[in-house]
Structure 1
Amino acid sequence: MVKAMPYQSHGLLLDMDGVIYRGNQLIPGADEFVAELISKQIPFLFLTNNSQRTQRDVATKVRRMGIPVEDHHVYTCAMATASFLADRKPHGTAYVIGEGGLHNALHDVGYSIVESHPDYVVVGEGRTFTMEMLERACNLVIGGAKLIATNMDPNCPTQFGLRPGCGAIVAMIESATGIKAFSVGKPSPIMMRAARKELHLTADETTIIGDTMETDILGGVQLGYHTVLVLSGGTQKSDLKQFAFQPDLIVDSIAEIDLEMLLNEPKALATVYA
């Protein structure tokens, strides 16, 4: 007989794009799923590798889609990066390639953003970076600044197709300098573990739901979380044969997840959804 897991002893980490919405369109059933989490007081966090938006901006976007979340339900790779740097060097300095979400996260932990002699060169997503910024970043890294990436995603999906992501921008600096960046965002255990700790859960009490094998599922597997892959984003079921690791559950979308069963015994559902 399977012992039921009390809700308060289990929580969820939810990827956003491809799980909750696609671009600016809510995925059907996502609002009802999150509403159930809120009504049953199940702890959860939205995790995003997008460093452009602030925590509040992301929460506002979700609220405008009809999901009544609070700012504290959002954890971004910019926040994880800022926290990591503040732990290593309190009140440090950074030269930043990125946008408002990254700038604000660094300011919130007491960092100063500078143009010369920084402790770190921090790279996030951005639509406004220039070759002059890349040139400065390269010279600062060669001069001794440590190279940090908010994430290594090679591209970002947009309504028009793909835009080069943080990983693509960082790759130019790495290639030019011969120095590899340290990445903090998913699937890094730094962000994944920090998010779990925000919910005050153990690894076995945590389930991550995502649409990408290389980030959400890989990170969850590495840390011993329960993992659910949704096929509503960037992964097709036929893609799974490429990977040596597998998710515990596979569903077409978040709307198909039986929340009560998932929280009680997630690994037991693999044969139901696979």
Structure 2
Amino acid sequence: MKKKGFLIDMDGVVYKGNEPIPGAVAFINGLREKGFSFLFLTNNSQRTSRDVCYKLRKMGFHVNDEDIFTCAMATARYLASRKEQGTAYVIGEGGLLTELHNIGYSIVDDHPDYVIIGEGRTIMLESVDKAINMIMGGAKLIATNLDPNCPVGNGKYRAGCGAFVAMLEFATGKQAFSVGKPSPVMMRMARKILGLSTAETIMIGDTMGTDILGAGSMGFTTVLTLSGVTKEEDLDHYGYTPDFIIPSVKSLLDEALFTKVLSKQHEQFSYDGHTMVVH
């Protein structure tokens, strides 16, 4: 069997809030012990990879900074490939600002090359107005992701990056370019970081519209966990299906199922036309 590697979403897949999902620590640490490569992918641009790694390590995951790939990192890499030493006006927080500084970008308050929108808990209308005028003046609009909302625990949500991007698009008549999941930009970067081919890449995620759509469009093997955003009753709303559907990553501790995922062999289980694997 060829080598395989994993791209893994975090919130709703390996933890909820500040608590690991049952079985997640054993699964991730088992991947490390068995020598499988993996990379955590997140559409949250607020925190740096070091911050995210610290949170995971506190929960017991054996991970390093290099195991984290955020949409802020993907956005910075994309911009560096388009224009070196560029300038940006940023609506976002530390994780995004850090990555832009790391690629040599300057953060400015007038005439930027790009207006970049990421997550933010204290976005002010004044900043939005400035961004509108910059975009109308020729700055290109870049979004770290287009998630309309973000879970904050206890069944509550806050406005996501996509909500603010939609407002800017409507106000300016300009369309944003998004780098985060499900964009093939982030998916392709992540695969290349692990040095995998398309056939060797497995995506584990809890969200049909980002994790599964993005990875499926790239031809990766897709595993949907029902421990996060997407529920069984939601599946009929989509015109595409994952390769595997499991209750949580704890299911992958079963060696037989894990082997089926590695070899993309489905155990047939009828569910309204969907191929499901549930243990």
- Normalising TM by the smaller chain, what interval? over 0.9
Match of 1:64 in 2: 58
2:8 alignment partner, SS class: strand
Match of 1:214 in 2: 209
Match of 1:237 in 2: 232
Which residues of structure 1 form unaligned runs of 5+? none
Please give the alpha-carbon distance, in whole angstroms, between the structure 1 residues aligned to 2:27 and 2:176. 37
TM-score where L is the length of structure 2: 0.93
1:246 to 235, 241, 245: 241
1:222 alignment partner, SS class: helix
Aligned residues: CA RMSD: 1.2
Shift in CA distance, 188/123, structure 1 to aligned 2, threshold 3 Å? same
1:37-76 matches, cutoff 5 A: 37-76=31-70
> Larger deviation: 217-226 or 158-167?
158-167
Match of 1:180 in 2: 175
Q: How many residues align?
A: 268
Match of 1:30 in 2: 24
Pair 1:138-2:136 in alignment: no
Please give the alpha-carbon distance, in whole angstroms, between the structure 2 residues aligned to 1:125 and 1:141. 19
1:77 to 71, 84, 87: 71
**1:244 Cα deviation after fit:** 1.0
TM-score where L is the length of structure 1: 0.95
Please give the alpha-carbon distance, in whole angstroms, between the structure 1 residues aligned to 2:159 and 2:19. 21
Please give the alpha-carbon distance, in whole angstroms, between the structure 1 residues aligned to 2:222 and 2:131. 37
Match for 2:190: what amino acid? Answer: A
1:14 alignment partner, SS class: strand
Q: Which runs of 4+ in 1 moved over 6 A?
A: none
Q: Deviations over 1:47-75 (max 9, x none)?
A: 00000000100011100111120000000
Pair 1:90-2:74 in alignment: no
Pair 1:197-2:192 in alignment: yes
The answer as to whether partners of 1:248 and 1:267 remain within 8 angstroms in 2 is no
Which residues of structure 2 form unaligned runs of 5+? 270-275
1:62 alignment partner, SS class: helix
Q: Deviations over 1:139-183 (max 9, x none)?
A: 000000000000000000002510000000111111111111110
